[in-house]
């Protein structure tokens, strides 16, 4: 970054000039060395998440003797760790709780001087901001493998406003990060609830009053033995073939000559359009009407269940009425008997952990696993005989799914907000208001 591009009132400093040390770690290589499950924390690139936090389950350990021998790469509290090889730009601030700790040569240790005019948390965002990203892209333009030398890190041009402004910027970005973290925790909570709910519903179901049945252990008289184990007495074990009017493959062949950019073309779905109980339609291609009309077997109707035969094998979704006319490629098309089954129930069961576990028994192929129509017709699933019960179970699961989807959209929105703030605040496009008359202690936190 040149002085010309530096925002008015800011100054550009070379990172190496404001640091006590910039170094990198060392991979232990002495005879008999092995990483351990306990001991001194050892940080690798994969130990640092994209969100700037350490991933506890990916931290490994070395013994104290090895740590003491690797003096150059010993980490201190408030060191900024930055990946400089491979997955460039991952960074995290070392806390006292992490120590004692060490790292390898793919991670740079950045230690600010006590009198440095830079707030550590501001620097934590700046090193992954647009200016440094562009700087790294320039120095790697002719490099076969993405990497940054320590000399490159020393030369990082850091544009800084006043210390108070740095802290305000870091506080704003940290607030957004905290919101993202809380929302992701909520997503994880809802997902755990959904997993438990799926297990309970697909093994116990709900009674005529809408209450979850007692478990088999609590009330064995409410259950009967079946091909799938104990199921509620009101249920049956049905094969997919017995609850469907037909099951067939989508078009198998080369469809690319029939692609069209014409907006009146017919949507043509592939396996990558089928996600868990939903269709990813923005990525669909279109084929000519002539091709569509010639391939009647693979024409889709609302309520059809589409199942991936290979790849994300077994993943299923229901064709919505909003899709209109459509065709598909190499997917299993199951047309269910609507008078006795709720298609959403079948799709939800197939996608559940219990359904997937049972479905794996019909996978065929020695190297690349897939499902054949013949085997899929013989796939058994526990079926409530009451359509009310099927629909009630679907409603509960889809309610949780909507909550998860809403929180996922919120995370996406927050990440977009953060990206915009990184551009505006770290490049001085938007100035934060602070009381510059207040004294600020230049501590690293």
Mean pLDDT of the chain: 92
pLDDT at residue number 314:
95
Q: From its phi and psi, is residue 90 left (phi > 0), alpha (psi between -120 and 50) or beta?
A: beta
Query: Is the domain of 146 the same as that of 260?
Result: no
pTM of the model: 0.83
Closest CA to 42 of 7, 13, 21, 73: 73
CA distance 349 to 317: 11
Query: Is the domain of 109 the same as that of 245?
Result: no
Instruction: Count CB atoms within 10 A of the CB of residue 138.
Output: 8
For residue 293, being part of any structural domain is answered with yes
For residue 267, being part of any structural domain is answered with yes
Query: Is the domain of 239 the same as that of 381?
Result: yes
pLDDT in tens, 79-121: 999 999 888 889 999 999 999 999 999 999 999 999 999 999 9
CATH classification at residue 150 = 3.90.220.20
User: Which residue shows structure tokens 């049945």?
Assistant: 213
Give bridge partners of residue 328 from the DSSP assignment.
269
For residue 111, being part of any structural domain is answered with yes
pLDDT at residue number 444:
47
Q: How many CA atoms lie within 13 A of 430 on its CB side?
A: 10
**CB neighbour list of residue 6: distance below 8 Å, 6 or more residues apart:** 12, 159, 428
pLDDT at residue number 264:
86
CA distance 354 to 363: 15
Mean pLDDT for each consecutive 10-residue tract of the chain (445 residues)? 69 95 88 86 94 93 92 94 90 96 95 96 96 86 70 94 96 97 96 96 94 96 95 96 96 95 92 94 91 97 96 95 95 94 96 95 88 95 94 95 96 96 94 71 49
pLDDT at residue number 4:
46
131, 160, 189: which is the final residue of a domain? 160
- Cα dihedral across residues 311, 312, 314, 320: positive or negative: negative
Query: Is the domain of 118 the same as that of 241?
Result: no
* Terminal CA-CA length for the chain: 26
338, 362, 385: which is the final residue of a domain? 385
* Widest pairwise Cα distance in the chain: 81
**For residue 272, what is the DSSP state?**
G
pLDDT at residue number 89:
84
3-state SS string for 76-107: CCCCEEEECECCCCCEEECCHHHCCEEECCCE
CA distance 36 to 340: 57
pLDDT at residue number 438:
55
pLDDT at residue number 368:
85
385, 413, 440: which is the final residue of a domain? 385
For residue 201, being part of any structural domain is answered with no
Query: Is the domain of 251 the same as that of 134?
Result: no
For residue 190, being part of any structural domain is answered with no
Query: Is the domain of 285 the same as that of 371?
Result: yes
Domains in the chain: how many in total? Answer: 2
Q: DSSP string spanning 284-333?
A: -EEE-HHHHHH-GGGB--TTPEEEESBSSTT-EEEPPGGG-S-EEBSEEE
CA 190, chain centre distance (Å):
15
Give bridge partners of residue 20 from the DSSP assignment.
none
Instruction: Count CB atoms within 10 A of the CB of residue 338.
Output: 12
Give bridge partners of residue 36 from the DSSP assignment.
61
Query: Is the domain of 48 the same as that of 144?
Result: yes
Closest CA to 390 of 179, 234, 176: 234
The residue range of the domain holding 267 is 235-385
CA distance 117 to 114: 9
Alpha carbon dihedral 74, 80, 85, 87, in 10-degree steps, equals: 130
pLDDT at residue number 3:
44
pLDDT in tens, 354-377: 999 999 999 998 788 899 999 999
For residue 2, being part of any structural domain is answered with no
Helix axes 130-139, 387-426, angle to 10 degrees: 80
For residue 415, being part of any structural domain is answered with no
CA distance 100 to 371: 51
| φ, ψ (nearest 5 deg) of residue 278 | -155, 160
Closest CA to 422 of 232, 180, 172, 184: 172
For residue 270, being part of any structural domain is answered with yes
């Amino acid at each position: 970054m040149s002085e010309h591009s530096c925002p008015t009132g800011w100054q550009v400093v070379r990172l190496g000039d404001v640091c006590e040390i910039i170094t990198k770690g060392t991979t232990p290589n002495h005879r008999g060395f092995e990483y351990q499950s306990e001991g001194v924390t050892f940080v690798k690139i994969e130990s640092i998440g994209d969100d700037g936090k350490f991933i506890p389950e990916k931290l490994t350990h070395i013994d104290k003797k090895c740590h003491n021998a690797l003096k150059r790469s010993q980490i201190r509290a408030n060191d900024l760790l930055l990946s400089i090889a491979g997955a460039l730009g991952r960074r995290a601030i070392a806390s006292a709780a992490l120590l004692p700790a060490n790292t390898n040569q793919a991670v740079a240790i950045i230690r600010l001087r006590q009198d440095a005019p830079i707030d550590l948390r501001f620097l934590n965002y700046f090193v992954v901001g647009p200016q440094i990203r562009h700087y790294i892209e320039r120095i790697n333009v002719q490099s076969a493998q993405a990497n940054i030398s320590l000399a490159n890190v020393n030369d990082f041009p850091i544009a800084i406003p006043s210390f108070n402004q740095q802290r305000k910027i870091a506080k704003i970005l940290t607030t957004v990060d905290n919101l993202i973290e809380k929302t992701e925790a909520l997503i994880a909570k809802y997902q755990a609830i959904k997993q438990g709910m799926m297990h309970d519903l697909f093994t116990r179901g709900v009674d005529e009053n809408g209450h979850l049945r007692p478990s088999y252990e609590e009330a064995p008289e409410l259950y009967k033995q079946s091909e799938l184990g104990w199921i509620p007495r009101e249920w049956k074990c049905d094969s997919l073939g017995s609850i469907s009017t037909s099951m067939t493959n989508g078009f198998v062949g080369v469809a690319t000559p029939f692609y069209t950019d014409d907006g009146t073309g017919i949507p043509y779905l592939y396996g990558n359009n089928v996600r868990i109980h939903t269709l990813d339609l923005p990525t669909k291609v279109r084929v000519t009407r002539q091709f569509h009309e010639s391939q009647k077997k693979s024409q889709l109707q609302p309520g059809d269940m589409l199942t991936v035969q290979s790849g994300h094998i077994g993943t299923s979704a229901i064709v919505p009425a909003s899709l209109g006319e459509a065709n598909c490629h190499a997917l299993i098309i199951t047309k269910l008997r609507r008078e006795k089954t709720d298609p959403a129930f079948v799709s939800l069961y197939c996608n559940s952990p219990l359904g997937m576990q049972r479905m794996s028994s019909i996978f065929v192929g020695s190297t690349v696993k897939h499902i054949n129509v013949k085997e899929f017709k013989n796939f058994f699933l526990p079926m409530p005989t009451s359509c009310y019960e099927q629909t009630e179970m679907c409603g509960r699961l889809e309610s949780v799914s909507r909550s998860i989807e809403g929180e996922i959209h919120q995370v996406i929105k927050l990440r977009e907000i953060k990206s915009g703030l990184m551009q505006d605040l770290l490049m001085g496009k938007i100035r934060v208001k602070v009381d510059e008359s207040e004294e600020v202690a230049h501590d690293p936190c």
